């Protein structure tokens, strides 16, 4: 018996109707067991998680100066919402340093707040990059706390009170928090899908300290006095790069697990594609030096994504590969279902409900993510300049 005949007989045995039914049953049982023995452990730990004390402004012992740094590049209405939220804060001792550029709209929005004496408006040029823009803002600061946010964050007095309280009462030097979508976006299915995708459990369950800073970061002045300037123009995630600068000086970054700050979540497929591709590339460029296995895993994911996209075509060319693809797709789909259960079980703040139609849309979203992975794969290989342009790092 030649090798071709051997594999033909093997596939005939593996992919007969009885074996296919068995494999489907096996995959389903596998995910049920993962949920019982791993996911439920996560849910239990989440419910036992100690909540940080909620404080009001009146309870704060002091009102240190808070310097709020806002880098803004090619922003729009969300940037305006961000600055309006800062302008309406009743915290009595703030200074807002905005560094805007990239489009006339962004600059005009920033300039519309120049009459507020608490605001300092700076301008940035193409090629500077986010970290350099933040460093330029830090040059305007000589004392007080330093609060770095993205241009689509909505800050409230309650958020500030809680963040300040962590620094003053827990004796931390840096504190970062989670995010939640704007309330008016919570009903959109693409937003729900993004929330599920960003539910990254089991990797490090409820860390107390992390090695990165987020789009909502508060730190004491002595941290930046020690760091001096953040490292600029690294081909990596900005938050991870700045976090490494901070931890390299011996400071810990406290993760405020039960605080979620409102920010913009992509509300259409185009914006989701642009944001997620940028985030994946950030992670990969960071991993090229520090985590080669992460890069290898992504390349394998890109190959798997190509396989997933070809499933409908394979039906007409090779039934064996088609059935194997369907089984892989089923496993991915069930993993998403597990994340829905996790999300609903740990969702104590958002009022997001999953409708039955969402489970059908999952089929499309998984295919869309496969397209995204393949596009990022080719951009990583051939279009390094495009990545640098998105990060505003072109010289």
Residue 324's pLDDT is what?
84
Last residue of a domain, one of 215, 239, 267: 267
Indicate the range of 29-43, 50-64, 75-89, 315-329 predicted with least confidence.
Answer: 50-64
* Cα four-point dihedral sign 77, 83, 87, 92: positive
Which residue, of 267, 285, 302, is where some domain finishes? Answer: 267
Q: Does 325 lie in the same domain as 240?
A: no
- Residue 52 inside a domain? The answer is no
364: phi then psi, degrees, rounded to nearest 5: -70, -45
Q: Supply 291's token pair.
A: 């985590």
The answer to whether position 395 is within a domain reads no
Domain presence at residue 13: yes
State whether 168 and 61 are in the same domain: yes
Full domain range(s) for residue 378: 3-45+271-390
On whether both 278 and 254 belong to a single domain, the answer is: no
So what's the pLDDT on residue 282? 80
Q: Are residues 230 and 318 in the same domain?
A: no
pLDDT 10s digits, 34-68: 999 888 888 887 776 655 555 555 555 567 899 99
List of residues 6+ apart from 347 with CB closer than 8 A? none
The residue out of 218, 251, 267 marking a domain boundary is 267
CATH code at 63? Answer: 3.90.550.10
Look at residue 69 and give its three-state secondary structure: strand
Q: Would you say residue 353 lies in a domain?
A: yes
Distance of CA 321 to the CA centre of its chain: 34
Q: Judge whether 186 lies within some domain.
A: yes
| End-to-end Cα spacing for the chain | 63
Contacts of residue 91, defined as CB under 8 A and 6 or more positions apart, other chains included, come to 57, 63, 66, 157, 160, 161
Q: 122 and 161 share a domain?
A: yes
CA angle 93, 99, 103 (to 5 degrees): 140
Max mean pLDDT among 189-193, 315-319, 351-355 falls in 189-193
Name the percent of the chain lying above pLDDT 90: 50
3-class secondary structure, 71: strand
* pLDDT at 214 exceeding the cut of 80: yes
Instruction: Look at residue 219 in the predicted model and tell me its pLDDT.
Output: 96
Give the residue among 257, 169, 177, 167 at the shortest CA–CA distance from 221: 167
The answer to whether residue 236 is domain-embedded is: yes
Residue 202 has pLDDT above 60, yes or no: no
The Cα–Cα gap between 82 and 103 comes to 17
Domain contains 259: yes
Number of domains in the chain: 2
Per-residue pLDDT, 22: 80
Query: Looking at residue 331, what is its pLDDT?
Result: 94
330, two tokens: 């089923």
- Residue carrying the six token digits 């993205």: 150
Q: Is residue 183 part of a domain?
A: yes
Q: Read out DSSP for 330-360?
A: HHHHHHHHHHHHHHHHH-SS------HHHHH
Among 364, 357, 152, 359, which Cα is nearest to 261's?
Answer: 152
Same domain, 9 and 129: no
Q: Who has greater pLDDT, 374 or 235?
A: 374
- Verify that 260 and 291 share a domain, yes or no: no
Statement to judge: residues 249 and 278 lie in one domain = no
Choose between 53 and 114: higher pLDDT: 114
What mean pLDDT comes out for the span 278-296? 78
Query: Would you say 115 and 86 are in contact if contact means Cβ atoms under 8 Å apart?
Result: no
State both tokens at 88. Answer: 């309406």
Please report which helix (H) or strand (E) contains residue 253, including its range. strand 253-263
Residues 73 and 199 in one domain: yes
Considering the domain architecture, whether residues 88 and 27 belong to the same structural domain is answered as: no
pLDDT of residue 228: 92
pLDDT tens by residue, 246-274:
999 999 999 988 788 999 999 999 999 98
Check whether residue 10 and residue 106 sit in a common domain. Answer: no
Q: Sorting pLDDT into bands at 50, 70 and 90, what band is 348? A: low
Statement to judge: residues 188 and 331 lie in one domain? no
């Amino acid at each position: 018996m030649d090798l071709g005949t051997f594999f033909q007989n093997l596939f005939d045995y593996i992919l007969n109707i009885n074996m296919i039914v068995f494999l489907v049953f096996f995959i389903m049982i596998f995910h049920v067991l993962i949920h019982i023995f791993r996911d439920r452990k996560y849910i239990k730990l989440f419910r036992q998680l100690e909540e940080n004390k909620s404080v009001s402004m009146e309870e704060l012992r002091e009102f240190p100066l808070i310097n709020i740094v806002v880098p803004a590049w090619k922003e729009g209405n969300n940037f305006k919402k961000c600055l309006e939220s800062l302008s309406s804060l009743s915290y009595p001792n703030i200074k807002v340093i905005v560094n805007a550029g990239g489009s006339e709209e962004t600059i005009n929005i920033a300039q519309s707040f120049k009459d507020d004496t608490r605001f300092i408006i700076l301008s940035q040029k193409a090629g500077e990059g986010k970290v350099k823009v933040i460093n330029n803002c830090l040059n305007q600061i000589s004392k007080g706390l330093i609060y770095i946010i993205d241009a689509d964050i909505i800050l409230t007095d309650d958020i500030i009170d809680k963040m300040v309280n962590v620094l003053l009462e827990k004796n931390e030097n840096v504190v970062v928090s989670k995010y939640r979508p704007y309330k008016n976006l919570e009903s959109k299915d693409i937003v729900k899908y993004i929330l599920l995708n960003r539910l990254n459990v089991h990797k490090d369950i409820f860390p107390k300290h992390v090695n990165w800073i987020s789009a909502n970061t508060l730190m004491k002045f002595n941290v930046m006095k020690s760091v001096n300037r953040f490292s600029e123009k690294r081909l990596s995630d900005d938050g991870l790069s700045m976090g490494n600068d901070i931890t390299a000086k011996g400071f810990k970054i406290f993760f405020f697990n039960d605080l979620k700050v409102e920010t913009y979540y992509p509300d259409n497929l185009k914006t989701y594609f642009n944001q997620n591709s940028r985030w994946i590339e950030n992670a990969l460029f960071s991993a090229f030096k520090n985590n080669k296995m992460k890069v290898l895993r992504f390349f394998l994911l890109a190959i798997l994504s190509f396989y997933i996209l070809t499933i409908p075509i394979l039906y007409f060319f090779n039934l064996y590969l088609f059935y194997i693809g369907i089984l892989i797709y089923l496993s991915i789909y069930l993993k998403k279902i597990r994340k829905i259960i996790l999300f609903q079980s740990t969702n104590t703040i958002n009022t997001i409900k999953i409708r039955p139609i969402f489970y059908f849309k999952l089929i499309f979203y998984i295919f869309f993510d496969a397209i995204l992975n393949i596009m990022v794969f080719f951009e990583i290989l051939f279009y390094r300049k495009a990545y640098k342009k998105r990060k505003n790092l072109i010289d």
